Structure 1
Amino acid sequence: MSTASKGTALITGASAGIGAVYADRLIKRGYDLILVARNEKLLKEVAAKIAVPGRTVTTLVADLANKESLKQVEKVLREDASITLLVNNAGVGSVASILKDNVEEMDAMIALNITALTRLTYAVAPAFVARGTGTIVNISSVVGIAVEMLNGVYSASKSYVLSFGHTLQRDLADKGVRIQSVLPGATATDFWDVAGYAPQKEGANTMRATDLVDAALAGLDKGELVTIPGLQDADAQDWTQWEEGRRAISKKFSHAKPGARYGV
């Protein structure tokens, strides 16, 4: 367990699941914490459970889907010079098709999964650049690639997080700011209760949240830009090839004339 302070980590969605595990692991690594979530009771329970002598834990009750509440967290990220790490973990999902889901619920999902994550990143990035150091961890999902697996809006929101991470790496890497995009697969958290498929928590291929976070932090230590804990070593080259293929084809899109196959 580290005793030297590594600064402060602000973790969203920290009252349970992946966020709560990040809180436990990061405080043991020497970070002070700011834990953000809607449920004050659960936040305080997490704070009490993970307490470590010499480290401070602050709880900040905020609904990140609410603009005014979100602005409070943005203000903290802009003004608290002790913050060295942002973990954008808060999110919500669904397994329902477009014919069964409520569009207002989908709008709220976009507000949390995309808008809040974006605004928090925009709040902290200039502060990190000014100090020449800082780390942003964005929790995406494997459905950001395997987009047909769950609800379309959820998958699209996680594709956004992955794409956003790539551009953050382009813009910030040479300014001392580290970016990591983490792509969990099915993980045993209450996410599935909210998403509408609680049995997935007990699935044979469902990962424990502790294993997920430990792997994600190991990936961060290794300098990975994208960490996919569930991708086994024998298949890791498939991700490398997919990324290389994506970057290669992106150079072939811009031409003054359509392809001959269109007969234009």
Structure 2
Amino acid sequence: MSTENKGTALVTGASSGIGEVYAERLADRGYDLILAARRVDRLEAVARKIGARTGRKVEVLRADLTDRKDISAVERRLAEDASITLLVNNAGVSLDGSLLENGSEPIEKLITVNILAPTLLTAAAAKAFVARDKGGIINIASVLAFVPEMFDGIYSGSKAHLVNITQSLAAKVQGTKVRAQAVLPGATRSEIWEKSGKDVDALLPGMVMETADLVDAALVGYDRGEVVTIPPLQDEAQYKAFEAARLAMGPNLSRKEVAPRYRV
């Protein structure tokens, strides 16, 4: 546990699961906390527990990230509160089923929580942090960003979006003291599975990582300066080869002429 004050970390989806563990670990590292979620009773219980154990200042911020007004309130807090030095975009939802089994309302909710909210919060935090030349942004994505064929493409697409904005931001803040990291969990024990009607142990037997293990590994990646951290992936060479192939393809993706293989 650190006695150093590292500023304040704002964590979304902090009332349980990955967000709650991040809050605990960041308090141990010397951060005060702003815990954001819509379930105030759960947030207050988490805040009391962490505050009593660590002595850190822990504030509860009610924010329903399906509500544009609440998203705007968190944006303003990030823009105006100079004590905030770290944003953890953790809040997320998934669908029960795919495009074929869901109507517009749950699809819109997923897009709002998983794409709109973290994008706007990332933008607000990045502008504030760059102006002060200090801060970090951690976006909780998913390994499904790399395997859209599995499960639901809307959810995996939302997580691919987070990887994209994180990599783009990391490139733009090179040379500053601002950091950006995308964390790509595999199956992790959290409430998101139950909320989407899935039994994760039945769906992926023997493949479910414990939440604390996931967060501890992700923070090791953050300390190492990784832009993309994939805690379940043992062979780092596989990801490096993927990135190398992607970057090699880049210069060939826009040409004046149609590729010869498409000529008839």
TM band (smaller chain) = over 0.9
Q: Give the match for residue 192 of structure 2.
A: 191
> Could you tell me which amino acid in structure 2 is paired with residue 206 of structure 1?
V
Shift of 1:135: 0.3
Q: Give the match for residue 100 of structure 1.
A: 101
Cα distance 1:140–1:75, how it changes in 2: closer, same or farther (>3 A)?
A: same
2:225 to 223, 226, 238: 223
Shift of 1:95: 4.9
Mapped to 2, the partners of 1:53 and 1:221 lie a distance apart of 21
Identify the range of structure 1 (79-88 vs 43-52) with the bigger mean alpha-carbon deviation: 43-52
Shift of 1:127: 1.1
Give the CA RMSD over aligned residues. 1.3
Q: Give the match for residue 207 of structure 2.
A: 205
> Could you tell me which amino acid in structure 2 is paired with residue 106 of structure 1?
I
Scaled by the length of structure 2, the TM-score of the pair is 0.96
Q: Give the match for residue 138 of structure 2.
A: 137
User: Residue deviations 1:146-196, cap 9 Å, x none?
Assistant: 111121110110111111111111112223210000000000111101122
SS in 2 for 1:173: coil
Q: Give the match for residue 31 of structure 1.
A: 31
SS in 1 for 2:87: strand
Q: Give the match for residue 214 of structure 1.
A: 216
Mapped to 2, the partners of 1:95 and 1:64 lie a distance apart of 19
Structure 1: state its 5+ residue gaps: none
SS in 2 for 1:136: strand
Q: Give the match for residue 113 of structure 2.
A: 112
- Structure 1 position 150 matched with structure 2 position 155: no
SS in 2 for 1:206: coil
> Could you tell me which amino acid in structure 2 is paired with residue 20 of structure 1?
E
Shift of 1:3: 0.4
> Could you tell me which amino acid in structure 2 is paired with residue 94 of structure 1?
L
Mapped to 2, the partners of 1:138 and 1:13 lie a distance apart of 12
Mapped to 2, the partners of 1:147 and 1:263 lie a distance apart of 29
Structure 2: state its 5+ residue gaps: none
Scaled by the length of structure 1, the TM-score of the pair is 0.96
Q: How many residues in Structure 1 have an aligned counterpart in Structure 2?
A: 262
Mapped to 2, the partners of 1:203 and 1:80 lie a distance apart of 44
SS in 2 for 1:11: strand
Mapped to 2, the partners of 1:54 and 1:79 lie a distance apart of 25
1:234-245 equivalences in 2 (<5 Å): 235-245=235-245
Contact preservation (8 Å) 1:3, 1:54: no
Contact preservation (8 Å) 2:50, 2:56: no
Mapped to 2, the partners of 1:173 and 1:53 lie a distance apart of 33
Contact preservation (8 Å) 2:200, 2:208: no
Shift of 1:94: 2.3
Contact preservation (8 Å) 1:165, 1:181: yes
